Amino acid sequence: MFRHVALFRFHEAASMTRRTEFLAALARLPGQIPSIRQVSCGFDMGCQAGNRDAALILDFADQAGFDAYKAHPAHLALVRDHVRAVVAETVRVQYPLLPADSTLDGGHRRSEDESSL
């Protein structure tokens, strides 16, 4: 499995209506792009200062599925119709999902200092 995570900071001028429409468009992606296995998205709950405004997590069978998503017309329309109007900054990361019994997290062994991040 392959995971894509995107964290968004909205333009301050973006209305709550536009922000909500953006998240609804993200949630509809699996119905439009066959390579998406699972989606999770939502607004930040404001529990910690400095967080981004919203997050998206998409799971794919493999990197080829992710590559298909990036080039898919529905993804390109999402960027054109929503991202450019609402999002000021995006931070992204992709990583392989390892088996649950693995001691590694994305190829990186966690130290005790990192466990509270």
Residue 91's alpha-carbon distances to 9, 26, 112, in angstroms, are 9, 16, 25
DSSP 100: T
Average pLDDT for residues 24-47, to the nearest whole number?
Answer: 95
- In this structure, what token pair is assigned to residue 75? 């993804």
**Residue of 57, 61, 56 lying closest to 96 (CA atoms):** 61
Mean pLDDT of the chain: 89
Sign of torsion, CA 4 85 41 69?
A: negative
Domain at 2-97, CATH class: alpha beta
pLDDT of residue 99: 74
Judged against a pLDDT cut of 80, whether residue 100 lies above it is answered with no
Average pLDDT for residues 46-61, to the nearest whole number?
Answer: 95
pLDDT of residue 38: 95
Q: Residue 89 and residue 69: Cα distance in Å, rounded?
A: 20
Q: In the structure, what pLDDT confidence band is assigned to residue 111 with cuts at 50, 70 and 90?
A: very low
